[in-house]
Amino acid sequence: MFSLQRNLNQLRKLSNQSRSKSYIVNLDNINQNVKRIEYAVRGPLVIRAGEIEKELKAGTSNKSFSEVIRANIGDCHATGQKPLTYFRQVIACCTDTSLLDSPKYPNDVKEKVKLLLSYCGGNSVGAYSDSAGIEIARQHCAEYIAERDGIPSNWQDIVLTTGASEGVRAVLALINSSSTDDKPSGVLIPIPQYPLYTATIAEYAMHPIKYYLDEENEWQLNIKELKRALDNDRSLCKPKAIVIINPGNPTGSVLSKENIKEIIKFAKEEGLMIIADEVYQHNIYKEGAAFHSFKKVMHEMGLEIELASLMSSSKGYMGECGLRGGYCEFINLQPEVKALFLKMLSARLCCSILGQIAMDCVVSPPKPGDQSYDLFASEKNAILESLKAKAKLAAETFNSIPNMKSNPVAGAMYAFPQIILPEKAIKEARDKNMEPDFFYAKNLLEKTGICIVPGSGFGQIPGTYHFRTTILPQLGELRKMMDRLKVFHLQFLEDYK
């Protein structure tokens, strides 16, 4: 609420400054839904972090630290992760085919490049692909899913997207009938949630049906809470779908198979499409935890429900955020509706060819016996082992600090610890028209250079306070960050006791 009010105040200030000019497009006649969009992971704290970085670089800062640690967003390469050699070799050769004559590149890389380019117009990554994506890459996605789940996958049910984010937006656009119905289309979303969902729902004038994840049960979904949320908002909207993020962002949770079964049963009973955000399926750290796809569990239950499963090349062990690769697999979608969805996608022409190639590398990596396999497996395993160690370090550190507690970081790339703030700090934050956890995070940034995202940017049970941090900084950097955070937190408690 406070973040939204701050943005509106800034808009009004800018509006007052520009009243002497006449604008055809102004705050009164633009799409009013745009004003409602909030995206915490790139919010005001991130802007301030950038300003501090410039001050440090220019030598004009009086800060006690020498660098900003950006733990606000899941950007693997920005925090020091090295690109996988195989991915970059394939992309390099696809963009500069003269490299295919170089002995520096393995034969399996060259064969893959030749195969991919044979499906591109003019054998060039500069040509458009089909709106749904390069056919061979979609086939490889289907093979990957079939191998993962042990059940068939039809490549024609798969579309390649500009990251999973575009897939989310496209699915929500497809099911949104807010403009023609007497009530807005409703979508159940988890709280805490990834801000993409609330931002897109706001932009599309849809209605968010917010259900709380069970923090006391490692952020699993409570079916009674799902029913409470749905019954509470049923009169305000036409419920269409339920969003599940597994492994969880921002919570770092991994859903149990039994919990997934309960969710599928609930969706079937309530007539809801399932939107399964499964982009972190490679990121499982907790002993005994495992990734179970909604598609596979639904198949085992013998149920048929409309399902959209989303995957990305940005997360996992790959971390290729900037290349913007992703896919969406539709299950049990009415053929006529799927045809209309593909027609809708045709308006974008196609997503980035390099993003599609990155996604192909994810779903069709080197196999044992291939020239690139040993190096690829070594790099992949090293990244995942490092993430596992950092997940353990983060949770153990938070649980060692007074007035702070964290569930295990079972998967994904984030921790979402709860902080118990002193009443004096809460009052000062309110007096400054700030959310208390935003106030905490702002102080942390100014005094330590650590940039995190307050829990209020993701949603949380009223009266509780959290923050989200990535576990992506390199291990030495993460240890330094944890030490700084602990010192700050203890001093913060002392200052506001």
Give 202-216 pLDDT, tens digit per residue.
989 999 999 999 999
- The string of pLDDT tens digits covering residues 266-291 is 999 999 999 999 999 999 999 999 99
End-to-end, the C-alpha distance of the chain in Å comes to 26
Range of the domain at 459: 2-79+385-495
Model confidence band, residue 15 (pLDDT cutoffs 50, 70, 90)? low
CATH of the domain at 443: 3.90.1150.10
132 falls within a domain: yes
Is the pLDDT reported for residue 41 higher than 70?
no
149 falls within a domain: yes
Same-domain check for residues 314 and 233: yes
pLDDT value of position 236: 96
Is the pLDDT reported for residue 458 higher than 80?
yes
Same-domain check for residues 226 and 257: yes
φ, ψ at 65 (rounded to 5°): -115, 165
Distance CA 344, CA 38 (A): 26
For tokens 């023609």, name the residue.
180
For tokens 């393995």, name the residue.
106
pLDDT value of position 39: 52
Among 16-25, 41-50, 54-63, 434-443, the minimum mean pLDDT is found in: 16-25
Same-domain check for residues 152 and 274: yes
Within 8 A by CB and 6+ apart from 307, the residues are 273, 274, 275, 276, 294, 295, 298, 330, 331, 332
Same-domain check for residues 350 and 393: no
Model confidence band, residue 295 (pLDDT cutoffs 50, 70, 90)? very high
User: Taking the model in full, what pTM does it have?
Assistant: 0.90
Helix boundaries (H) for 119-239? 135-149, 163-175, 195-203, 223-233
**Token duo for residue 228:** 């409470």
CB 2 within 8 A of CB 435: yes
How many domains is the chain built from? 2
121 falls within a domain: yes
389 falls within a domain: yes
Average pLDDT, stretch 89-97? Answer: 97
Instruction: From 331, 363, 395, give the residue that closes a domain.
Output: 363
Model confidence band, residue 38 (pLDDT cutoffs 50, 70, 90)? low
pLDDT value of position 22: 77
Is the pLDDT reported for residue 322 higher than 80?
yes
374 falls within a domain: no
Is the pLDDT reported for residue 11 higher than 60?
no
pLDDT value of position 61: 84
Model confidence band, residue 36 (pLDDT cutoffs 50, 70, 90)? low
Average pLDDT, stretch 346-359? Answer: 91
Distance CA 150, CA 153 (A): 9
96 falls within a domain: no
Computed over every residue of the chain, the mean pLDDT equals 91
Same-domain check for residues 457 and 317: no
Model confidence band, residue 1 (pLDDT cutoffs 50, 70, 90)? very low
Is the pLDDT reported for residue 318 higher than 90?
yes
DSSP codes of every residue in 19-87: TTS--SS-TTTS-GGGGG---GGGSHHHHHHHHHHHHHHHT----S-S--EE-SS--TGGGTPPPPHHH
95 falls within a domain: no
Is the pLDDT reported for residue 9 higher than 70?
no
Same-domain check for residues 274 and 211: yes
Instruction: From 363, 396, 431, give the residue that closes a domain.
Output: 363
Helix (H, G, I), strand (E, B) or coil at 309: strand
pLDDT value of position 110: 98
pLDDT value of position 111: 97
Is the pLDDT reported for residue 465 higher than 70?
yes
Q: What percentage of the chain carries pLDDT values higher than 90? A: 77
CATH of the domain at 186: 3.40.640.10
Average pLDDT, stretch 402-413? Answer: 96
Within 8 A by CB and 6+ apart from 448, the residues are 65, 69, 484, 485, 487, 488
Same-domain check for residues 355 and 389: no
For tokens 């606000």, name the residue.
72
Same-domain check for residues 154 and 253: yes
Q: Which helix (H) or strand (E) holds 186?
A: strand 185-191
Type of residue at 310: L
Q: How far is CA 240 from CA 24, 225, 342, in A?
A: 37, 17, 20
DSSP codes of every residue in 267-280: HHHHT-EEEEE-TT
Same-domain check for residues 34 and 125: no
- The string of pLDDT tens digits covering residues 219-272 is 999 999 999 999 999 999 999 999 999 999 999 999 999 999 999 999 999 999
Is the pLDDT reported for residue 74 higher than 70?
yes
pLDDT value of position 13: 61
Same-domain check for residues 225 and 303: yes
- The string of pLDDT tens digits covering residues 141-199 is 999 999 999 999 999 999 999 989 899 999 999 999 988 889 999 999 999 988 889 88
Same-domain check for residues 131 and 269: yes
105 falls within a domain: no
